[in-house]
Amino acid sequence: MRIISVKESTIPLGSDKENAAISFQAMTASAVVAEIETSRGRFKGLGFSSYGRYGHGGLLQERFIPRLLNITDEIIGETSIQQMANVWDVLMTNEKEGGHGERSGAVGVLETAIWDAVAKSEDLPLWALLERDVGHSGSNGLPAGKTAIYASGGHYRSGSSDAAEVEEEAKQGLDAGYGWFKLKVGGATQAIDMARIEAAVKAVGSPNLIAVDANCAYGEDQGATHLSEIDQIGLRWIEEPVNPLDYLALAGCCQSVKTPIATGENIFSQADSRNLLHYGGLRAGKDNLQMDFVLAYGLTEYLRMFVDAEALGWSRKDFMPHAGHQVALHAAAGLGLGGHETAAVLGGPFSGVSDDTMVEDGVASLGDAPGAGIENKPTLFRLFHGLL
């Protein structure tokens, strides 16, 4: 493979959504197009930032795109995995250990764009390339090309936090074929949050079909009390109860709460993932690992996280990446992960799945279009207009 060109653009994502931690008014994302040449021709790969950590335009321009374009030799490798590991080494040339933030997202968006191009060069959807070259876990009860899928929403709106709105969203999500629904908590009073949760449970009929995302709100003050109250409901999981790096507090939560815990979306490297698994008190087979590889150095680093996790008794079905981008959908369906998150009803580039993906009875069935399918998601694809 030769790298022919890389273009990037920063996309403003002005939104009135907010969660317990931040508002999204000034949020941005990066769109990347990387063109590669192989023996089969030239192929353009599309990459798009994950949600909530800003675009990476500066870092891409300063360091990561120049490094790729400086390589005039062919990037070799017997399989796509080895080839991409070599791409990864080029990207990380002269980068020091530690400090896994921001650059992990710049590398992630670029690396996943190149995976898209590689899949296209093999005339395979990304899920099928991953199944072929990495292998499917076989542990999630579904064949390759399918994945469990859930709807994520229930954000706080500026100036409103209406349980009726959450109820409607949860109902819409399940009506649309998603398996369960997730809403935000921790950003309002406990009374309001409990009303929101009750409304969601009422809409779907069972607490096991509702998960909540606290965005780190339960680390201090009344956190333990609120958590304990929510724990009584029997929800599917409680997500990010405390600061993602506060392993002591997380281990405390895991000990005191019987509901499964989900976390990992703000863990951006193999080194940090290892520490989370060693010190965070999480329980293999019960809890949920949500590392988001578009923010965390891409699929190459994600595969390394599996190796560590498997050595500690976890399986790939315990992984369920954050944020619902197309590459996560393909990774879930190709590698046999636990499921896929989708912002089902909110609209915009992070919402929904590509048009050739069928969602029914809690399962997404992916199509056969080569690559990761950004082209088949019009709200997202239009953001690449100036780059193609």
308 touching a copy of itself, by CB under 8 A: no
244 touching a copy of itself, by CB under 8 A: yes
Q: Of 26-34, 160-168, 228-236, 301-309, which part binds a copy of itself (CB under 8 A)?
A: 26-34
Nearest residue to 332 (alpha-carbon basis) of 340, 342, 324:
340
Using CA atoms, how far apart are residues 93 and 98, in angstroms rounded to an integer?
A: 14
The site map against a copy of itself for 281-300 (x = CB under 8 A) is --------------x-----
Considering beta carbons, is residue 58 or 348 the nearer one to a copy of itself?
58
322 as an active site residue: the answer is: yes
Quick check: 261 and 253 in contact, CB under 8 A? yes
Using CA atoms, how far apart are residues 291 and 320, in angstroms rounded to an integer?
A: 7
Quick check: 345 and 172 in contact, CB under 8 A? yes
CB 310 to a copy of itself: min, Å: 17
Options 88, 127, 181, 247; binder of a copy of itself; rule CB under 8 A: 247
22 touching a copy of itself, by CB under 8 A: yes
SS3 content of the chain, % helix, strand, coil (to 5): 40, 20, 40
Catalytic pick among 146, 322, 340, 377 = 322
Catalytic pick among 17, 182, 184, 340 = 184
Kindly give, in sequence order, each residue whose CB lies less than 8 Å from that of residue 160, ignoring residues fewer than 6 positions away: none
Options 40, 69, 89, 95; binder of a copy of itself; rule CB under 8 A: 95
CB 68 to a copy of itself: min, Å: 14
322 touching a copy of itself, by CB under 8 A: no
Q: Which residue has the tokens 């590698």?
A: 335
CB 262 to a copy of itself: min, Å: 15
307 touching a copy of itself, by CB under 8 A: no
CB 294 to a copy of itself: min, Å: 13
Kindly give, in sequence order, each residue whose CB lies less than 8 Å from that of residue 106, ignoring residues fewer than 6 positions away: 30, 56, 59, 60, 63, 64
CA distances from 215 to 48, 79, 107, 242, 293 (A): 22, 38, 24, 7, 18
184 touching a copy of itself, by CB under 8 A: no
CA distances from 275 to 3, 248, 282, 328, 343 (A): 34, 11, 11, 23, 29
Considering beta carbons, is residue 24 or 207 the nearer one to a copy of itself?
24
Kindly give, in sequence order, each residue whose CB lies less than 8 Å from that of residue 179, ignoring residues fewer than 6 positions away: 148, 149, 150, 209, 339, 361, 362, 363
CB 52 to a copy of itself: min, Å: 6
Q: Beta-strand (E) ranges in 40-197?
A: 41-48, 146-152, 156-157, 181-184
103 touching a copy of itself, by CB under 8 A: yes
Quick check: 263 and 283 in contact, CB under 8 A? no
Binders in 59-88 for a copy of itself, by CB under 8 A: 59, 61-63
The packing angle between helices 326-335 and 298-311, to 10°, is 40
Options 52, 145, 336, 339; binder of a copy of itself; rule CB under 8 A: 52
The packing angle between helices 126-133 and 80-91, to 10°, is 100
CB 59 to a copy of itself: min, Å: 6
Options 80, 83, 104, 140; binder of a copy of itself; rule CB under 8 A: 104
Q: Of 139-147, 148-156, 268-276, 342-350, which part binds a copy of itself (CB under 8 A)?
A: 268-276
Which residues are catalytic, by number? 184, 322
Interface residues with a copy of itself (CB under 8 A) are: 10, 21-28, 52-55, 57-59, 61-63, 94-104, 216, 243-248, 266-269, 271-272, 274-275, 278-279, 295
